[in-house]
Each structure stands twice: as structure tokens, then as C-alpha cells.
Structure 1
Amino acid sequence: MKTIDTLVKVFILLILLPIFITSIPTGPLHIMTVSGNSMEPVITANDIVVIIPAITQPAVGDIITYRPHFQSDEGASITHRVVGVVEEGYITKGDANELPDGIVAPGDVIGIMVFKIPFIGALVHFARTPVGFLTVVLFPSIILIIIEIREIIRLL
């Protein structure tokens, strides 16, 4: 029984960890879920990307995340590859897009992508829906509480 309890705890933690990591501020790191396909095949929808602030000027070939001026959602961001550097900033383009984006001002750059975690973003997106929250967060949390209460009662 103890082995099953441990396996359940590990499984639940593996499910909850990506959700919490993408939901809390992480200092200089930005951990974001990808929702579009403009960077396929390098980055696909439901990947998680880890972004660090640009210490040096992004170069051609770097994948950057930036805040677009045309979005009304302040939390919106775009992750595209730098295809050119001009005096006003950077020209970016999604790998799957035919045309480049407009110029990205240096002040709009959030950072440079350092690595990605494939497919975990689907779980994060699902967990942010009402049904997903119940399924992925609330029910597993209740199961953990029940397991711990049983363990406390057993020790008494």
C-alpha cells in the first residue's frame, strides 16, 4: 500500500509541477507555454519555452520572445527567430511563416530562448480551464490530502 501511495504522490507531483512552474514568477527566467504554430518544427504548440533576459544584443538566428505592440492583451508575447538586425531593432520571423514580422524595438524584447520542454504546455493550457483545474489540480490535491490523513491516522 505504501508503494502505491508513493507512486500516486510522484505521479501527482509530476502533473502539478509544470502547472505551478509556469504560473509563478521565476525571477529573471520566463517560463511560457506556446500556443501557436509559427515556429514549427523547432517549437510547436504546447511546448514550454524558457526565456532569459538578453544580456547581449540578440543576433541573427537567435529565438527571442517579445511584446507585440498590436496586441491589446498586455500578457501576450511572440516567440520568433531574429532574421535581421537594423538600427531600429530586430526583424523577426516565425520559421513556419513566409513573411517576416515588423521591426521589434529593443525595449520590447523579453529575452532569448535557451531551451524548450516539448508537449507539457498542453497540460498547462488544460489546467487553466475550469474542467482542467478540477481534473488536474483539485482532484489530485484532494487525493494527496486523503493519503496524508490516512498516514497520520495510521501513525496514531
Structure 2
Amino acid sequence: MKGKRVLKVMSHIITTLLFIVLLVTLFSVIAMRASGGEAAIFGHQLKSVLSGSMEPEIQTGSIIAIDVADAQNTFQKGDVITFQTNDDALVTHRITEVVDGQYVTKGDANDAPDVEPVTQESIIGEYTGFSIPYAGYVMTFANSSEGAAILLILPGVCLIIYSMITIWRALRTIDQPKKDVKKNIEQSDI
């Protein structure tokens, strides 16, 4: 009897967790799509780092949090900034020098500074020091059409399958007393 109670509690916990995962995933994907793919948490934008130019401080595949910059922000040597290059790529590098209002940047793991200086207008934000290693791969996948579809469908399918198993088990327990009664009747007839 105690084993059945434990199984019932575990069943409720699993159902609740699957439902929460489904809701969180749904909310996350919709929020990222609504904001143009810019994930944000507590006022910080989240960006994926897909190169090793800032290792070891920022690992390849990490998610980093940045404070969004505006025209009033000024940066100094040593600040780590995320900026947009002329070919629309996002880069996160450290400022090594400030020359005539422009910033010379370099990745910590790179041997030479970046070719083009960074202007104030091309700076997206400043790195806050918060990163989650390897989560950038997941975020990049989630921002793709296939990733969004899988992350929305997979928890729902798991919840449906788990619900079907739970219903089947419940129906089986309902049928069991009927079989026991029939068996008892057959034995009493003998």
C-alpha cells in the first residue's frame, strides 16, 4: 500500500514538472520571438558567444548577460563590450584603447587587436560578468525555426504520452477488482 502511495506522489510530481517545462518553454519561445529573438532577463539582454576569442573568461558556447548601451554610455580601457560589426555580426571583445572617441578592441585569446575601431553607435551593450557555459548552443538552437518547434512540441508530446500511460494504469486498476470478483464467483461455484 505504501508503495502505491509513493508511486502516486511520483506520478503527480512528474506530471507537474512536465507541465511546468511545457509552460516555461512556451513562454520563453514566444517571448524570444516577440522581442525579435532578443532574450532578456532582469533587464539584461542575453547573447550567445559562439567563438573562443574571449576565452578563458567567456567560454565558447556560453550565454552572457549584457547591459544595453545608449548614446550617453561611455566606456574605458578594460571594459568588455558587445558591438555590431560592419557586416552585421555581433562581437564581444575587450576595449584595449580609446582613441578620438572610438574604441580599439581585442579578444582576450586573440594575438592582435580588431582591424576596425568600434564607434559609440555600434555598441550594443556592456558585459555584466554573468555567463552560463554551453547554454548558448541551446539558445541558438531555440532561436532557429526547427529548435523552436521541437522545444514547443517535445514537452507537449511527453505530457500526452505520460497522461495516456497514467489513464491506462487507472483503467487497469478499475478492471482488476472486476476480475477479482469474477474469479471469486467462479471459485465459489466449484
Tell me whether the two structures share a fold, i.e. TM-score over 0.5: yes
Paired residue for 1:120, among 124, 130, 135? 135
1:67 aligns with 2:84: yes
Distance 1:4 1:82 in 2: 48
> Which residue of structure 2 aligns with residue 58 of structure 1?
75
Paired residue for 2:94, among 73, 76, 81? 81
TM-score by length of 1: 0.74
Q: What are the superposed Cα offsets for residues 28-62 of structure 1, whole Å, 9 maximum, x if unpaired?
A: 63221111111111112221111113353111111
User: Does the aligned pair in 1 maintain the 2:21–2:155 contact within 8 Å?
Assistant: no
Offset at 1:144? 4.5
Offset at 1:15? 6.2
Q: What are the superposed Cα offsets for residues 93-122 of structure 1, whole Å, 9 maximum, x if unpaired?
A: 001110001210111111101122222111
Paired residue for 1:98, among 111, 129, 135? 111
SS of residue in 1 equivalent to 2:14: helix
One-letter amino acid of the counterpart of residue 107, structure 1: E
**Greater C-alpha Rg:** 2
**Residue identity (%):** 32
TM-score by length of 2: 0.62
**CA RMSD, 1 decimal:** 3.4
Distance 2:131 2:33 in 1: 16
One-letter amino acid of the counterpart of residue 80, structure 2: I
Paired residue for 2:50, among 10, 29, 35? 35
Distance 2:73 2:145 in 1: 41
Q: What are the superposed Cα offsets for residues 119-156 of structure 1, whole Å, 9 maximum, x if unpaired?
A: 21111223345654454332213444677899xxxxxx
User: Does the aligned pair in 1 maintain the 2:79–2:126 contact within 8 Å?
Assistant: yes
Distance 1:65 1:148 in 2: 45
Paired residue for 2:16, among 2, 6, 11? 6
Offset at 1:89? 0.7
- Stretches of structure 2 that go unaligned for 5 or more consecutive residues are 1-10, 166-190
Counterparts in 2 of 1:129 and 1:106: CA distance versus 1, 3 Å: closer
- Stretches of structure 1 that go unaligned for 5 or more consecutive residues are 151-156
User: Does the aligned pair in 2 maintain the 1:82–1:90 contact within 8 Å?
Assistant: yes
How many residue pairs align between the two structures?
148
